[in-house]
Amino acid sequence: MTKKFIGTGLSLLLLLSLVGLAGAAAVFAAASGQLVVSSVSGAVGDEVEVAVSIANNPGIATFNVKLNYDKSQLEPLSLAQGGALTAGGITSNLQIPGVDAAQLDHVTALWYNLSNITANGVLFTVKFKIKPGASGTIPLTLSYNADDVSDQNYANVSVTAQAGAVEVTAGDPNSDPDPDPGQDPDQDPDPDLNPDPGAPVMAVSASAPDANGEFNAVVSIANNPGIATFTVRLNYDKSKITPVSLTQGAALTVGNITSNMQIPDVDVSRFDYVTAMWYNPSNITANGIVFTVKFKVKDGVSGETALGISYGAGDISDQMGVDVDFVCQGTTAQLEASAYVVVISEKGLRKQDGAITGEVEFNVINNSGSTRSAAVFIAVYDAAGKMVYTKVKADIPLARGDNAVRFTDISIANASSRLYTAKVFCWSSVNQMEPLAYPAILDF
């Protein structure tokens, strides 16, 4: 499970090193350290505390590791941050509200800080209870990917892991045998009861540049089955565009998003991707915008450029730590300022009691240098792409500069789709329908 991070509210630990495009070379820090799991002993029914420590610490700012064990013999009770972590916060799957810890076969430990810590010592401790029937030596191992430990510059830190163990000193003669040793307790007894409602999709769309050469790349999700963490990259050509800012989207109603753009004094022009890392203890199931990145087109650049989304195995998961696979859809951004730009400025659409109501206000920016009339058209589509609502305003005078337009009294009955998309078009006229601007897009 790669990089399941923690938002800044809990110290996002979705991995800051994010996975790159296929074939891209990983960046490694030169130094290496050791992660060491302690060994303890106890009798059946005892509570024992296992420590995970770091030695020869070269300087780390993030880690995301699993402490693995036999769940038939051990039950985790709690996780505590260790003394070596003097900054940042640690988060774990043990903190998920209502989690059945007895069914976990690993404990996640996810930590992030904006700058390196170089202390050696205990990173975290896990308290276990030795279950009835446990016996012998129970291995405790750490697992992580190469980019799950990194420094403040996002360079991967090479670490080795030393396993530990729980030595059971006495068994429980009164323990019950497995009532059905042939049944895997994690197996869905009837997978057909939980059919796939549709492939989850993460897509990026782009607006046209404004007069200052700035445009928005909007990343949205659809068919969301429920996620509690993601770590993704928005990839682009740094020779053509530079990121300016990142804004958390309306679909993320809880948790906080963290990015490489938030590193103090960072030179964003050297990046060829923007990281977006988010964590929440419980699932969110909303569809819509998860984050928006504002870009600026570099001087003298024209034409178009590709924008893409990438993530690694384990970088998107639900509240139980189960991986969720998303289909990633990129787009092509135009890099020349349009004579007319449509920007949604106020989003007042609401879904309630099976209906959508409200209004949308947007701004038509006239960069042409002269006034003209135009037709403005709003269309709403469901997740299948079917148009379910339309409204048009004809012969709107567009003065030079900003022109506010508002569609009110929008009402859509029987709104059962999981995702809706509103598009606002600007045409030369209702009859000719010659596009004057790229449509503005709103997912909700």
Residue 284 amino acid letter: I
d(CA 29, CA 151): 8
Give long-range contacts, CB 8 A cutoff, 24+ apart: 179-185. 185/103
Interacting residues of 107 by C-beta distance below 8 A, sequence separation 6+: 66, 67, 69, 76, 79, 92, 93, 94, 126
pLDDT at res. 350: 77
Over residues 142-158, mean pLDDT: 85
- Give the domain CATH number at 349: 2.60.40.10
Same domain, 81 and 42: yes
Per-residue pLDDT tens for 108-118? Answer: 888 878 788 88
d(CA 392, CA 404): 15
Query: For residues 276 and 234, is the Cβ–Cβ distance under 8 A?
Result: yes
pLDDT at res. 242: 93
Residue 369 lies in a domain: yes
Angle at 244 between CA 26 and CA 422, to 5 degrees: 100
Residue 183 lies in a domain: no
Same domain, 43 and 110: yes
pLDDT at res. 346: 62
Same domain, 158 and 76: yes
* Last residue of one domain, picked from the residues 309, 337, 365: 337
Q: Which domain holds residue 440?
A: 339-444
Same domain, 84 and 141: yes
d(CA 199, CA 176): 42
pLDDT at res. 171: 47
SS3 letters for 66-92?
Answer: EEECCCCCEEEEEEEECCCCCCCEEEC
Same domain, 155 and 218: no
d(CA 99, CA 358): 38
Over residues 389-409, mean pLDDT: 85
pLDDT at res. 395: 83
360: confidence class by pLDDT, cuts 50, 70, 90: confident
Residue 344 lies in a domain: yes
Neighbours of 265 (CB within 10 A): 4
Residue 182 lies in a domain: no
Per-residue pLDDT tens for 159-192? Answer: 889 999 999 986 444 444 443 333 343 433 333 3
Of the listed ranges 15-29, 46-60, 338-352, 423-437, the least confidently predicted one is 15-29
Same domain, 324 and 370: no
pLDDT at res. 409: 83
Q: Which percentage of the chain shows pLDDT scores above 90?
A: 29
Q: Is the pLDDT of residue 333 over 90?
A: no
DSSP state of 237: -
Residue 15 lies in a domain: no
Q: Is the pLDDT of residue 1 over 60?
A: no
Residue 343 lies in a domain: yes
Angle at 211 between CA 210 and CA 215, to 5 degrees: 25
**Kind of pairing between the strands at 121-130 and 74-81:** antiparallel
Angle at 428 between CA 422 and CA 430, to 5 degrees: 70
pLDDT at res. 210: 74
Neighbours of 129 (CB within 10 A): 18
Query: For residues 98 and 158, is the Cβ–Cβ distance under 8 A?
Result: no
* Last residue of one domain, picked from the residues 337, 354, 377: 337
Same domain, 343 and 331: no
Over residues 111-138, mean pLDDT: 90
d(CA 42, CA 81): 23
Could you tell me which residue, 417 or 404, shows the higher pLDDT?
404
| Ordered DSSP codes for 130-187 | EPTT--EEEEEEEE--TTSEE-TTS-EEEEEEE-EEEEE----TTPPPPS-TTS-TTS
- Domain count along the chain: 3
Structure tokens at 78: 């709690």
Same domain, 317 and 211: yes
Query: For residues 291 and 276, is the Cβ–Cβ distance under 8 A?
Result: yes
Residue 5 lies in a domain: no
Query: For residues 355 and 411, is the Cβ–Cβ distance under 8 A?
Result: yes
- The closest alpha carbon to 72, from 44, 102, 45, 101, belongs to 102
Q: Which percentage of the chain shows pLDDT scores above 70?
A: 82
Same domain, 130 and 67: yes
d(CA 31, CA 133): 43
DSSP state of 354: T
Q: Is the pLDDT of residue 339 over 60?
A: yes
Same domain, 108 and 132: yes
Of the listed ranges 72-76, 410-414, 416-420, the least confidently predicted one is 416-420
Burial of 184 (0-12, 13-18, 19+ CB in 10 A): exposed
pLDDT at res. 245: 93
- Give the domain CATH number at 52: 2.60.40.680
Over residues 26-43, mean pLDDT: 74
Q: Is the pLDDT of residue 126 over 50?
A: yes
Same domain, 55 and 79: yes
Per the rule left: phi > 0, alpha: psi between -120 and 50, beta: everything else, 94 is alpha
Which of 132-141, 396-405, 418-427 ranks highest by mean pLDDT?
A: 132-141
Of the listed ranges 22-26, 122-126, 345-349, the least confidently predicted one is 22-26
Which of 94-98, 154-158, 439-443 ranks highest by mean pLDDT?
A: 154-158
pLDDT at res. 332: 84
pLDDT at res. 31: 47
* Last residue of one domain, picked from the residues 302, 337, 372: 337
Residue 2 lies in a domain: no
Over residues 249-265, mean pLDDT: 88
Same domain, 381 and 441: yes
